[in-house]
Amino acid sequence: MPGKNRALLHILSQLRIKMGDIKHISIALTHPSYYVDDRVKARLNQRLEFLGDAVIDLTISEYLFRHYPEADEGTLTILKSNIVSKTKLARCGRKIGLEDTIRVGKSVRSKGRINDRIIAQIFESLTGAIFLSYGLGKASDYVLYSLKDEIAQVRNKCLAELEPRGTLQMLVERKYGEKPKYITVKTDDNMFISEVFVADRCMGKARGNSKKEAEKLAAKGALTKLSYEGL
């Protein structure tokens, strides 16, 4: 079995997953470049990667669907792509010590630092192996636990821009226990002016070509103002 590391073992123990009980764990943590003369094992690693990719995709899709009911399909797609990109998976993989745990071929190791693509692939193959041994529930727990920082980062940086109304509502409900209130009127020149109130204070005002656009821009302004106030 490839080398063990404390970070990965800690995550697995938190989720009550025993590394020794994970089927194909050795192959999952071994890049195909290592199996120069064993195409069967190399192919199994790639199959685990394929399976893990599907598990990660489903897990993050379900998480976003449940946690951001105001986000439309396009917004959910963008958010998901930001979380499950190879760069983000690789960053997560390095954080849990995969670079020092996995086995790779001499040609890869001789280049020094293992590239992001390989780290991301191993993260996916490990996810696939956990799924085979423990089912979707545990595999999803592993994905969400491992990617929690990436999920938070995307939420903070992307959602306010892509779905400001939903983000504002989430923050306001958390702090004040109520929803933001919008007052939107149509002007004589067929434009819309929207004001958004939080705890009876006007926190944002904007003008748009439609009611939806005006309220979205007002919510964005409110988020900016609230960020200065430390919400």
**Catalytic annotation present for 124:** yes
**157/224: higher pLDDT:** 224
According to DSSP, the β-strands at 192-198 and 201-208 are antiparallel
Q: What is the pLDDT of residues 14-59, one digit of tens each?
A: 899 988 889 899 999 998 888 877 889 889 999 999 999 999 999 9
DSSP H helices in 147-192: 148-154, 160-162, 164-176
- CATH for 114: 1.10.1520.10
Same structural domain, 88 and 187:
no
Please determine, for residue 4, whether its predicted confidence score (pLDDT) is greater than 60: no
Please determine, for residue 3, whether its predicted confidence score (pLDDT) is greater than 60: no
Domain end call among 159, 182, 214: 159
Summarize the confidence of residues 86-91 as an average pLDDT.
Answer: 94
Among the listed residues 21, 37, 49, 53, the single catalytic one is: 53
Within 13 Å, how many C-alpha atoms sit on residue 162's CB side?
A: 19
CB atoms within 10 A of CB 162: 20
Domain that holds residue 178: 163-228
Among 72-86, 107-121, 157-171, the range scoring the smallest mean pLDDT is 157-171
Domain end call among 138, 159, 180: 159
Q: What is the pLDDT of residues 172-202, one digit of tens each?
A: 888 889 999 999 999 999 999 999 999 999 9
Among the listed residues 49, 124, 150, 195, the single catalytic one is: 124
pTM of the shown model: 0.70
